[in-house]
Every structure is written in C-alpha cells, then in structure tokens.
Amino acid sequence: MNHVDIWIDNTPVSVAADKTIMQAAEQIGIRIPRLCYHPELSIEGACRVCIVEVEGVNKFLASCANKVWAGMRVKTNSPEIRQARRDIVELILDNHPMECQTCERDGNCELQDLAYSQGVRERVFEGKRKRHAIEASSASVIRNAEKCILCRRCVRVCSEVQGIHNLSQLHRGFHTVVAPAFEDAMVDSVCINCGQCINVCPTAAFLEKPHTEAVWAALADPKKFVVAHTAPAIRAALGEGFNLAPGTPCVGKTVTALRRLGFDAVFDTNFGADLTIVEEANEFVHRLEKGENLPLLTSCSPGWIKFMEHFYPEMIPYASSCKSPMSMLSTLLKTYYAEKEGKDPHDIFVVGIMPCVAKKFEAERPELCLSDGTPYTDAVLTTRETIWMIKAYGINFVHLPDGEFDNPLGYSSGAADIFGTTGGVMEAALRTAAEKLTGEPLTDLNFTEVRQAEGLKEATIRIGDLDVNVAVANGLNNAKIILDKVKAGDKQYHIIELMACPGGCIGGGGQPYPPEGYYVLDREINKLRAQALYSIDEMKKVRTSHNNPFIKQLYQDYLGEPGGDKAHHVLHTTYTPREPRGIK
C-alpha cells in the first residue's frame, strides 16, 4: 500500500493511503472522540462527534469516514472544532433522559464519558424530548428507546455480524426509533437473544432482563436451598469487573464470592459440559456409524438454537438433541441431586451464572421445565449482573481466598473448561469421540486445528481410519455460510460447532463491558479470555469428559448408559420451528 505524508496537529505522519483520518491520528497516539464508530462494524458517520478541521476544506470532516490524502493538514483540537464537538454532544444530550444516577450504565457509559471529556458542564439546549415506553417483553433483552442516540451500532451488529436483521431504524426525523419490524415486541420478533446489541450500545438503550432481585430474594428466603453453577466462560472474564487484567483465571475466587453472597451450594456448569460431551459424542458416533443425520450440529448455544428455529428449521433434525450444559446441570439438580439429598425440587432455587443473555430465554423454555411448569433453572445471572451483586454486597473480590466447588456436580475435566471459547466444544467432543471410535487413549489431546476460529474454520481430522470433516462457526453470519454449504451438499461435513457470539461464550452478550484499552467484539480481549481457559485445561489431571470419575459414577448410579432411556429422558430436549421466519 502506498504511503502518504500528512500533518496532524503539526506532527508529520506517514500513513497508508487507505487509512482514515481517525486511524492516522491513532498512529501518533491521538484518540479522536467518537460515538457511532465501531472498529468491527461498517462506517456509519452518523453522530459527527469525530469531526476534524482540514486545511482548505470549508466544512468539518468526520474523521471515521474520510480517508487521508497526500499533504493533508488536520487539526483535531482547534477552538472551533472543540466548540463544534461540544455542541454536537450537547444536542445529543438534549434529547436524552439525563437520569445517570438511576441508570444501569452509570459509570460505564460511553455517552457519559464523552460528555465529561468534551467539557459539557451544563444543560445548554432544552428542546422537545422523545418519549417511548420501555419494551420488556423479551425474556432476555430490554429495549429502552428513550436512551437511544441513533448511532445504529445495534442495527449494524444485528445484521453485519449476526445476520439476524431484527433491528432497523423506523420512521424518520424526530420520530426515528430503532426497533424490530413493525415495532413488534421483541418477544414476537426474530431476535435470538444473543445480546450483542447490549454489548455495542454506548448507552443503556439495550439491557439484559435483570434477575438480580429474584436472586437476592431467594438468598434471603430461609425455605429455599439456593445453588449456583458457573459457566466455563465466567472464570475467564469475571475478574475484569474487579480491575484484574483480561485473561486472569479466577475460578476459586468466584466460588468463594458466591458462598459469601449466601449460596448454599456452588456447582460447576462444567460438570454439565462434560456430561454434554459424553452424550453428544455418543450421539455423534452413532450417527457416524449409521451414516444418518450428518453433520451433527452442536446445541449448547441458545442463541444459535433459536436462530436455527427461525432461520433454518429444516436443519432441526441435524441438531444434537442434547440439552445445553446449563440445562443438563439444572435438570440434575432438581432430579438426581434432589432425590439424593431428600429435597423437594421446588425448594431448590437454581441460579445459572452465565456469560450469556440468551440463557435467560433458554431457562424459560417449556421443554426445560418440570412437568408442573417449574423451570429447572430459576434465574440466570450474566457475568455483569454477578459482578454487580458481588460489588453491591461489598465483597473485596481481589483478596478472596480460593474456594472449591461442591461435589459431585462440581468436578470437571479440562475439556469442559474450553467450552467457553470457539472451537472448545468441538475439541472436547473430538477427544471423547476419538477415544470411543478407536478404543485407545489419545496421545495428543490438543486439536489445535479447531482453535481460534476467526468466525469460521474447517478442518479434516484423522480418527482411526476415518477422515472426519469438521467446521467451527461463531457469529451467526458465519453459521449461515456454513449451513448454506451443508445444504449445497458439496462436501460431507460430519460435525459442526455453532456459537451465536463472536469468539464463542467468552464474547457472550452478558460479558463485562470491556475495560479501558479494549472494545466490544475485540479479538484481543477474546484471545486473552480464551488463553485463560486453555491454561486451566492444560493444568487439569483429567482432560477428557468421559474420564471424569464423577461422570462415570453418575451413569452407574443414576443415568444408566450414555444415550440410554434414562439419560435420554433427563438430558435431551426438542426444538420447534418458530415464527416469524427469518430472512436468510
């Protein structure tokens, strides 16, 4: 690429000719203020916050949307620019509730930070305010259009990354609102509850449905036996909420923190993950031997599952019937564990600690309830909600001693830990399936071919005398690509891992808002979180799900054979096509 010489605030910069002014400024360590811009999404140029002055150009240019040219002289901080930028932010604020102290994102809001950094110290413009009711029909995602500043990041992530196209700008001018088609309630839309709109939103126009009050209430209820179980991806990200560096594993502290919060028992969703692998590998080997319903599509990600029901209902027979690790563990808690401990399942309150917003929807699925309609999972706390509860209680997380999970549903193999990152379910399944197919232990447990998929990765794995074609997709636009290839029938895939969120669960819709220096959908932060999981896996004695001694015991005592009647009844589920039908 050709380089051009330009000047930014009198500093000479040599920059590739295809770069924008904003990127050129970053090269010399100047971060031009911004709002609608997002490095992983298309350029919008809507908010005008990133304007700069360019010599010889008689208007201010949006630095995110304009490329550099040779000899260009840019001013990022002239008095005129500073004034204009502040005016722009003031005008945005004029149509914003300004309820910072009672807002979920107080202290963690890009608009708030921007107003502060631009020196907005008083309310200058007092105009008409848009009025919209809070839309809370969804089990997972709450839409609050009054706080929306029309940056369209949610619209872009929903279409460009996830391929859902659920959100669009409707109406025009002052009446513009971001909503599903026809302003339908989220619950009646094609929303798959991934929560990426929540993550990219600079304000609080999208939030997860809070379960914190329900959990506080259960913890205070002496009649309830309140148990938590924590998803693999939690241990790689929870520490970020307490200023620990991204990628700091903090499973022991998390267990202690949950006990201090008052949970009567703390289990590991990982145990459910090991169980998922035993069941899913069994299902896979069966299908492989019979040559039926291939490729097998994994079923852990509730966002992907709802996506399939709206967009690819014809693929339902290919999906694994395994419940997700969360639902497997919750089911066991209200069946096996309740029986063993002599408890009424209705007295057990199960809380899933999840990186995921869609898990809140999954918990409400009627298929995942006791026959009287009591859900197996009573509440789902996102990583963010969990961090908030720990802070609200006043627990000094960083200095907590490490705790241990309760057993038998708290012991897990390393295969379960890597569930939290893209390729992890695949690798865990391959470890078990390979040993099952060949009857011999693997010499190398690391299937690095399926790791770190940047969206989509394919590989062919030699197992015994079989070539197994595998694919890993994260982000649902990539799911579309691989499913369309499956439907075209050019290649026989045998097993495909699908995760709704980019990077897998570590990039989930319920994960912490990124710490300074990182951004949402940042591949770097997801790499660090993934490394945390791989390091935990490496350190474990048992690294294959089927060799987890407590899993073996559970089959002996309660479940019978993998894929057998009892196991099927307890651990498997069904899917149904959903309306409205998604547009592929």
Residue 450 to residue 495: CA distance in whole angstroms: 12
Q: Let me know if 310 is exposed, middle or buried by CB neighbors in 10 A (0-12, 13-18, 19+).
A: buried
Give the x-and-dash track for 455-494 against another protein (CB under 8 A).
----------------------------------------
367 catalytic? Reply is yes
What's the number of CA atoms in the CB half-sphere (13 Å) around residue 378? 22
Q: Which stretch binds another protein (CB under 8 A): 121-129, 162-170, 545-553, 568-576?
A: 162-170
Instruction: Catalogue the E-assigned strands of 17-72.
Output: 51-54, 61-62
Which conformational region is residue 313 in: left (phi greater than 0), alpha (psi within -120 to 50 degrees), or beta? alpha
The answer to whether 464 and 288 have CB atoms below 8 angstroms apart is no
Residue whose structure tokens are 């169980």: 275
Q: Which of 359, 360, 457, 480 is catalytic?
A: 359
Helices (H), 97-250: 110-117, 153-156, 196-200, 212-220
Q: How far is the CB of 186 from another protein (least distance, A)?
A: 12
Helix (H, G, I), strand (E, B) or coil at 535: helix
Q: How far is the CB of 185 from another protein (least distance, A)?
A: 13
Residue closer to another protein by CB (options 158, 482) is 158
The answer to whether 167 and 102 have CB atoms below 8 angstroms apart is no
Q: Is 580 in the site for another protein (CB under 8 A)?
A: yes
300 catalytic? Reply is yes
Q: How far is the CB of 279 from another protein (least distance, A)?
A: 36
Q: Is 165 in the site for another protein (CB under 8 A)?
A: yes
Q: How far is the CB of 583 from another protein (least distance, A)?
A: 5
Residue closer to another protein by CB (options 167, 434) is 167
Q: Which of 280, 309, 427, 497 is catalytic?
A: 280
Q: How far is the CB of 510 from another protein (least distance, A)?
A: 24
Q: Is 257 in the site for another protein (CB under 8 A)?
A: no
Termini Cα distance of the chain: 36
* Encoded tokens for 234: 């939690």
DSSP state of 101: G
Q: Which of 320, 321, 412, 413 is catalytic?
A: 320
Give the x-and-dash track for 174-203 against another protein (CB under 8 A).
------xxxx------x-------------
* Encoded tokens for 215: 């959990």
Residue closer to another protein by CB (options 193, 386) is 193
104 catalytic? Reply is no
505 catalytic? Reply is yes
The answer to whether 215 and 264 have CB atoms below 8 angstroms apart is no
Residue closer to another protein by CB (options 564, 577) is 577
Q: Which of 240, 283, 435, 497 is catalytic?
A: 283
Residue closer to another protein by CB (options 33, 163) is 163
Among 168, 469, 477, 535, binds another protein (CB under 8 A): 168
Max Cα distance, the chain (Å): 81
Residue type, 310: H
Among 66, 118, 166, 270, binds another protein (CB under 8 A): 166
487 catalytic? Reply is no
Among 49, 109, 141, 167, binds another protein (CB under 8 A): 167
122 catalytic? Reply is no
Q: Which of 47, 64, 300, 322 is catalytic?
A: 300
Q: Which of 44, 309, 362, 497 is catalytic?
A: 362
* Encoded tokens for 303: 């966002």
Among 134, 392, 398, 583, binds another protein (CB under 8 A): 583
The answer to whether 116 and 89 have CB atoms below 8 angstroms apart is no
26 catalytic? Reply is no
Residue 29 to residue 22: CA distance in whole angstroms: 11
Q: Which of 314, 367, 454, 524 is catalytic?
A: 367
Q: Which stretch binds another protein (CB under 8 A): 159-167, 295-303, 463-471, 535-543?
A: 159-167
Which conformational region is residue 167 in: left (phi greater than 0), alpha (psi within -120 to 50 degrees), or beta? beta
Residue closer to another protein by CB (options 3, 581) is 581
Among 123, 129, 171, 566, binds another protein (CB under 8 A): 171
Residue closer to another protein by CB (options 173, 222) is 173
Q: How far is the CB of 360 from another protein (least distance, A)?
A: 23
Size of the site for another protein (CB under 8 A): 18
* Of 118, 102, 153, the residue nearest 33 (C-alpha): 118
Residue closer to another protein by CB (options 491, 581) is 581
CB 136: neighbour CB atoms within 10 A?
Answer: 16
Instruction: Catalogue the E-assigned strands of 448-558.
Output: 456-463, 466-474, 495-499
Residue closer to another protein by CB (options 192, 530) is 192
Helices (H), 382-475: 383-393, 414-417, 424-438
Question: Cα angle at 466 between 464 and 451, to 5 degrees?
Answer: 85
Q: Is 581 in the site for another protein (CB under 8 A)?
A: yes
Q: How far is the CB of 578 from another protein (least distance, A)?
A: 14
Among 169, 212, 293, 531, binds another protein (CB under 8 A): 169
* Of 53, 142, 138, 153, the residue nearest 103 (C-alpha): 142
Helices (H), 15-119: 21-27, 79-94, 110-117
Residue closer to another protein by CB (options 116, 182) is 182
Q: Is 391 in the site for another protein (CB under 8 A)?
A: no
Q: Is 137 in the site for another protein (CB under 8 A)?
A: no
Residue 577 to residue 345: CA distance in whole angstroms: 30
Q: Which residues are catalytic?
A: 280, 283, 300, 320, 359, 362, 367, 505
Binding interface with another protein (CB under 8 A): 159, 165-172, 180-183, 190, 580-581, 583-584
